[in-house]
Copies of this chain bind each other. A is one copy, B any other.
Amino acid sequence: MAIDLIFEALASRPRREILAYLSKQELTAGEIAGRFAMSAPAVSRHLSILETASLVKSERRGQYVYYSLNSDNLVNTLTSFAFEICPRGRPLKRESRQLRAAKHKS
Interface size on A, as a range, is 35 or more
Q: Could you say how many copies of this chain the assembly holds? A: 2
The minimal Cβ–Cβ distance linking A46 to chain B, given in whole angstroms, is 14
Residue of B nearest to A15 (CB): B7
- Are A74 and B86 in contact (CB-based, < 8 A)? yes
- Are A76 and B105 in contact (CB-based, < 8 A)? no
Question: In the assembly, what is the distance between CA of A80 and CA of B86, in Å?
Answer: 15
Q: Which residues of B contact A52 (CB under 8 A)?
A: none
The residues of A with any CB-CB pair to B shorter than 8 Å are 3-4, 7-8, 10-13, 16, 19-20, 23, 69, 71-72, 74-76, 78-82, 84-92, 95-96, 98-99, 102-103, 105-106
